Structure 1
């Protein structure tokens, strides 16, 4: 998709938005912003583990939802519109015990009232860990 972000803040601004939220608690950090994609990383450690010592699927969904929601927000004039989640799904492909995972979100559909974003999460060896899709509603403020 060729549509570019309406707003393109700095990485510092994106990371500041996560202060005092779940993003900060689990150590998520935006690392790259393109014309229409975002990349963030998340540690795989005690904050994001499930009881068996693997990356918790819910932590992957938090990363996916954060990336898709922020991507959607950057596609609209946020003085007029807000983007809220309608649906998210995730397929967990591979377990991760430690290190970092990296999520990249790209738009599939950018409409006037809905957006659909694809999020792929990979490990440090660039192997797919989780694939997710989020549908966002675009509403008037």
Structure 2
């Protein structure tokens, strides 16, 4: 396993989610729905989707923050409109709706993709995350920002 990926967000790595792009305008990634991501009916667990939404929007919030401050989610709302089953390929994309000095709002969408072509996507979930984005970075965690920024296309 790539240690740099795990340092970026260990929970994402645990569920097999891989980051594809990090910029102030978009954070995206993908995963195959695995057993450990499923509820007992072998469909993607809504809590896993919520975790991914908060994680990728928070990464984007940090990168979009003018002073690269620490961010914290203060509100997450997510709607699950279709299911993804074990083995499905899922992509996620977070984009900012508003980037202020104190508050940011990010939109996160999840699609399952047809395995034969990435052109066919079906929306499965939509989330909105509000971030507080002016928090100080503790001295003991300064390298976290460096790890996030190493992924970013600034």
TM-score normalized by the length of structure 2? 0.76
1:25-67, Cα deviation, whole Å (9 max, x unpaired): 1111101235511111122110110011101001111111111
Q: For the aligned residues, what is the CA RMSD?
A: 1.9
Structure ranking higher in helix proportion: 2
Number of equivalenced pairs: 127
Give the aligned partner of residue 16 of structure 2: 27
Q: Report the CA distance shift for 1:37/1:87 in structure 2 as closer, same or farther (over 3 A).
A: same
Gaps of at least 5 residues in structure 1 are 1-11
Partner of 2:118: none
Aligned to 1:86: 74
1: CA distance, partners of 2:14 / 2:34: 12
Task: Judge conservation of contact 1:14–1:30 (CA < 8 Å) in 2.
Answer: no
TM-score (norm 1): 0.82
Structure (1 or 2) with the larger CA radius of gyration: 2
SS at match of 1:55: coil
Residue equivalent to 1:138: 133
